[in-house]
Structure 1
Amino acid sequence: MEPYRIKVVEPIPVLTRDERTAAMRAAGYNPFNLNADQITIDLLSDSGTGALSAAQQAAAALGDETYAGARSYYRFRDAVASLTGFEHILPVHQGRAAERILFGALIAPGQLSVSNTHFDTTRANVHLSGGTAVDLPCPEAADLDSDTPFKGDIDLVALAEALEGPTEVAVVVMTITNNGGGGQPVSMANLEAAAAITRAHGVPFILDAARFAENAWLVIQREPGWSDKTPTEVARAAFDLADGAVASLKKDAIVHMGGFLALRDPDLATRCEAVLIATEGFRTYGGLAGRDLEMIAVGLEEVVQPDYLRARAGQAEHLASLIEKAGVSIVRPPGMHALYLNAGRLLSHLTPAQYPGHALACELYVAGGIRCAELGSLYLGVEDETGTLVKPAPYELVRLAIPRRTYTQSHLEYVAEVIAEIATSPESVPGQRLVSAPPLLRHFHCRTEPVAP
């Protein structure tokens, strides 16, 4: 059961199928363009969508809004320092701000950023810094159906080869858990080996630690030698391997806004701090209100509680079992923050050029008011100048991101029922055709239209 009880509730909009069909058409068949009052179950993102605890709301009342040197900053700093061990800690309004600042300081035009998998904004910030993002997921990640426990690992052989050149690597970024790789965790053994290889080449080793607590929990459950550790101990061991970390705290601090950039190198921290002040805010607030800093400090304590993490993992496992019972494949084994539907397999009548992942995401909304995100050829595919898909994504996936402490078991069972209904006649789901899209991060603002299946 959930290790909490509900004190405040919010009504959920329930539209008719005709109303949802009209809403999706008006949104250009892009779930990002839908309004909140049109959504019944929102699984678009687990970022900033969690429910605050009573302790966090109480802490918000202590927020010190002093421009410089606020008491709230020092509570935030001490909480992050205790967790990570880093000396230089800069608050930012969210993780992508930390990425932008750090990559601007580290990456020169033409250099590489190497990762187990860059997520969308991470990849975009590498690109905007003039670099190239290179993903090196472990070979086991290619088998979506296997229960290999750590498919979020980086390919160590490929990492060593990339660091040997010929193109210079500016930074190695390890994303824990591997969001773009199906929400799979990274093992401590892989982190240790990757850190050693990277350090031997004098390249900064950075953690994208948005889901550090969930990765720690899965390490405890799955990796030999770690079962007797606490989530805090595992997380600290991971941070100890890195030269720095970026984190969106809208995930594993369970707040609506906030992040950090944490570093060991004082010179790099000084360069980053100058950009922070110019673009985000003074070093002791970084674009955040004092109340946000207070809530983050409490959230970082709550997120590592075993009862909370056990229940969160149980939610994902329960939903996964119901989806698979309906005959729909997911990326296995289930992670914690999201489940990834294998849309390419379910909608096998659609080609990658008809964007089966995006088509399934649209159908989930029309069928049940469920909003989610595609991670397939719309997100990762490459088109030529005529708009023809020339390089599809390796997999056509749909991510069901589960907000923290927000939905009950019956909500998730409703999601499974809608998926099961679609699975009874998947051939009726139409494909999608790209109508318009911006050149960067197109999945956020593109428009598509149905094409006959």
Structure 2
Amino acid sequence: MKLPFAESYKIKMVETIKRSTRKEREQWLKEANYNLFNLKSDQVFIDLLTDSGTGAMSDKQWSAMMLGDESYAGARSYYKMKEAIKNIMGFDHFLPTHQGRAAENVLFSVLVKEGNIVPGNSHFDTTKGHIEFRKAKAVDCTIDEAFDTVIDHPFKGNLDLIKLESVLSTYPKEQVPMIIVTVTCNTSGGQPVSMANMKAVKKLSEKYEIPVCFDSARFAENAYFIKTREEGYQDKTIKEIVKEMYTYADMATMSSKKDAIVNMGGFIGMKDANLWKQASTYNIMFEGYVTYGGMSGRDMNALAQGLDEGTEFEYLETRIKQVEYLGGRLEEFGVPFQKPIGGHAIFVDAKKILAHIPKEEYQAQTLGCELYLEAGIRGVEIGAILADRDPETRENRYPALELLRLAIPRRTYTNNHMDVVAVALKNVYDRRNEIKHGFKIIDEAPIMRHFTVQLQKID
């Protein structure tokens, strides 16, 4: 008999989580103005809002923290992080930042100007926000298959090379500061980009003399999918695959709160010494001195160790198989979600589940609130609220996909928790026709509104 799969770790410390009643959750959600970000963590039983900074660090990471050098300039921890980035990604130059959006802020302050065009594969909210804040335009060049949740394409994060070349051939190179390749592509469902596609994008970038930037938050998960899905990579290690991936990038931004498994931290990797020099000025202005950039020494140590652990196959297999487990349970129950299953989350197809609710009433947000009411489970909307308003017309943008993301923190929950999530979502799915209305916005920020938006239930 074949042995069942088991996690490649054992639990050393636990944290209590609290159950609540539906009546309590109804009151808390109302007080939060139906924005799940506004809930207190003690009001959530299983928190799948994000996998960013919510994972469990290893004993080796905690040990590394105890050896952190907190010197303001030239700390040993900085050089340990520098060595890890060089060994794993190959970048000669880097700047530490406190998280991924800070890395974008610093890098884009150098590169992105008013009127610029920035093509990529379904830019995530902070990326698009930093582009549009600078009065530039993000152009989505993702393959069409990504927007059909039923199609089982192995690399739905791929850029459509025809779409991309159309952008590059339309605008002068001075107007296109970079091509962004998000690995894995969060907005399209945590979907990976193939090595062949990265190589082809780099070839196009060289033809038009435009640099390539990898949004690298989940680069290791992307490498796992290359190993398991792309011909010719089955016998390569994750670290070998990562090394090749970054030969096709000129620079990278990284939220290390994902695949480096830390609670806080990020960085910019660069091959161009002159770009490093320009970005250093903004890093000092926004983040801190170039050898700490908003991070403590202990966090840099934990990040360096996490980069090493996060690029080991056994760890990645355990992590992604838990996401697959949840997807398998939902498949059993007939709940529609983005296929194939991505690396860090299940993206539930709210547009299919709540097709009777108008898109103007925010289907994915409605589904997220119903799941919270059902069992105290918090997900996040990846739909019209996150898509924000068009900067010019101020009209709502309605994306092709309206998704509820259930992001699984790394090494944090057991499969028993996944069973609770699956059954709770099944219960919501079974009573979907009883959900008559969604929400309207009563207050919103001018940009990246989904973090603080206030909603009112439509009766």
Counterpart residue number, 1:411:
417
Code of the residue aligned with 2:377 in structure 1: it is I
- Residue-by-residue CA offset, 1:181-229 (whole Å, 9 max, x unaligned): 1110000000000011012111111101111110000111101111111
- In structure 2, distance between residues paired with 1:72 and 1:360: 44
Counterpart residue number, 2:431:
425
Counterpart residue number, 1:219:
226
CA contact (8 A) 2:388 2:448 kept: no
- Residue-by-residue CA offset, 1:387-423 (whole Å, 9 max, x unaligned): 9x65422121100000000000001110001001111
Matched, 1:401 2:407: yes
- In structure 2, distance between residues paired with 1:283 and 1:235: 25
- Residue-by-residue CA offset, 1:307-359 (whole Å, 9 max, x unaligned): 11111111111100111211210100001201100011011110101111000
TM-score, normalised with respect to structure 2: 0.96
CA contact (8 A) 1:381 1:393 kept: no
CA contact (8 A) 1:384 1:390 kept: no
Cα distance, 1:130 vs structure 2? 2.8
Counterpart residue number, 1:59:
64
Deviates more, 1:166-175 or 1:362-371: 166-175
- In structure 2, distance between residues paired with 1:433 and 1:447: 9
Equivalent residue runs for 1:58-207 within 5 Å: 58-166=63-171, 168-207=175-214
Equivalent residue runs for 1:179-328 within 5 Å: 179-328=186-335
- In structure 2, distance between residues paired with 1:234 and 1:390: 40
- In structure 2, distance between residues paired with 1:128 and 1:344: 29
CA contact (8 A) 1:50 1:406 kept: yes
- In structure 1, distance between residues paired with 2:65 and 2:453: 37
- Residue-by-residue CA offset, 1:150-195 (whole Å, 9 max, x unaligned): 0100110111110112362111010000001111000000000001
Cα distance, 1:128 vs structure 2? 2.1
- Residue-by-residue CA offset, 1:118-172 (whole Å, 9 max, x unaligned): 1000111112223111111112212211111001001101111101123621110
Code of the residue aligned with 2:39 in structure 1: it is L
- In structure 2, distance between residues paired with 1:5 and 1:217: 22
Moved over 4 A (4+): 383-387
Code of the residue aligned with 1:26 in structure 2: it is E
- Residue-by-residue CA offset, 1:44-91 (whole Å, 9 max, x unaligned): 000000001111111100000011011111111100110111111111
Choose the corresponding residue for 2:343, options 336, 344, 354: 336
- In structure 2, distance between residues paired with 1:362 and 1:139: 29
Code of the residue aligned with 1:421 in structure 2: it is N
- In structure 1, distance between residues paired with 2:171 and 2:402: 32
Counterpart residue number, 1:26:
31
Code of the residue aligned with 1:166 in structure 2: it is Y
Unaligned 5+ residue runs, structure 2? 1-5
- In structure 1, distance between residues paired with 2:389 and 2:280: 36
Partner SS, residue 298 of structure 1:
helix
- In structure 1, distance between residues paired with 2:71 and 2:392: 51
Partner SS, residue 181 of structure 1:
coil
- In structure 1, distance between residues paired with 2:201 and 2:49: 31
Choose the corresponding residue for 1:371, options 352, 371, 378: 378
CA contact (8 A) 2:256 2:266 kept: yes
Task: Give the direction of change, closer, same or farther, for the CA distance of 1:392–1:130 in structure 2 (3 Å limit).
Answer: closer
CA contact (8 A) 2:349 2:403 kept: yes
Code of the residue aligned with 2:422 in structure 1: it is A
Code of the residue aligned with 1:321 in structure 2: it is G
- In structure 1, distance between residues paired with 2:69 and 2:391: 52
- In structure 1, distance between residues paired with 2:434 and 2:448: 29
- In structure 2, distance between residues paired with 1:132 and 1:386: 14
Task: Give the direction of change, closer, same or farther, for the CA distance of 1:366–1:104 in structure 2 (3 Å limit).
Answer: same
Cα distance, 1:428 vs structure 2? 1.8
| RMSD after superposition | 1.5
Partner SS, residue 283 of structure 1:
coil
Matched, 1:445 2:445: no
Q: Give the count of matched residue pairs.
A: 451
- In structure 1, distance between residues paired with 2:168 and 2:332: 44
Cα distance, 1:247 vs structure 2? 0.4
- Residue-by-residue CA offset, 1:228-265 (whole Å, 9 max, x unaligned): 11111111111111111110000000000111101111
Partner SS, residue 257 of structure 2:
helix
CA contact (8 A) 1:199 1:205 kept: no
Code of the residue aligned with 1:247 in structure 2: it is M
Unaligned 5+ residue runs, structure 1? none
Partner SS, residue 404 of structure 2:
strand
- In structure 1, distance between residues paired with 2:178 and 2:49: 29
Deviates more, 1:165-174 or 1:277-286: 165-174
TM-score, normalised with respect to structure 1: 0.97
- In structure 2, distance between residues paired with 1:420 and 1:348: 16
CA contact (8 A) 2:78 2:300 kept: yes
CA contact (8 A) 1:177 1:183 kept: yes
